[in-house]
Amino acid sequence: MQELFNVVLAGVGGQGVIFASTVLANAAVKVGLSARVGQTFTAAQRGGSVIAHVRVGSKVYSPLIGLGDANVIIGLELVEALRHIHYIKSGGLIILNTLKIPPRSVIFGQAEYPNISEIEHFISEKYSAKVVKIDATQIARSLGSALAANMVMLGVLSCVSEFPVRHEYLIESIRELSPKRYVDLNIKAFKAGKAFMEKKFN
State mean pLDDT over 25-37.
Answer: 95
Residue 108's pLDDT band (boundaries 50, 70, 90)?
low
Q: Could you tell me the pLDDT band of residue 105, with boundaries at 50, 70 and 90? A: low
Which residues form the domain of 65? 5-201
Could you tell me the end-to-end alpha-carbon distance of the chain, in angstroms, rounded to an integer?
Answer: 30
**Entry pTM:** 0.90
Mean local confidence (pLDDT), 111-125: 77
CATH number for position 16? 3.40.920.10
Q: Which residue has the higher pLDDT, 108 or 115?
A: 115
Give the pLDDT band (50/70/90) at residue 78: confident
More confident of the two residues 61 and 173: 173
Q: Give 106's pLDDT tier (boundaries 50, 70, 90).
A: low
Summarised one tens digit per residue, pLDDT across range 125-137 is: 888 899 999 999 9
- Does 139 have pLDDT greater than 60? yes
Q: Which residue type does 83 have?
A: R
pLDDT at 1: 42
Domain count, the chain: 1
Buried b (16+ CB within 10 A) or exposed e, 52-90: bbbbbbeebeeeebeeebbbbbbbbbbbbbbebbebbbe
pLDDT tens digits, 180-193:
999 999 999 999 99
What local confidence, expressed as pLDDT, does residue 100 receive?
72
Within 8 A by CB and 6+ apart from 110, the residues are: none
What is the arithmetic mean of pLDDT over 133-162?
96
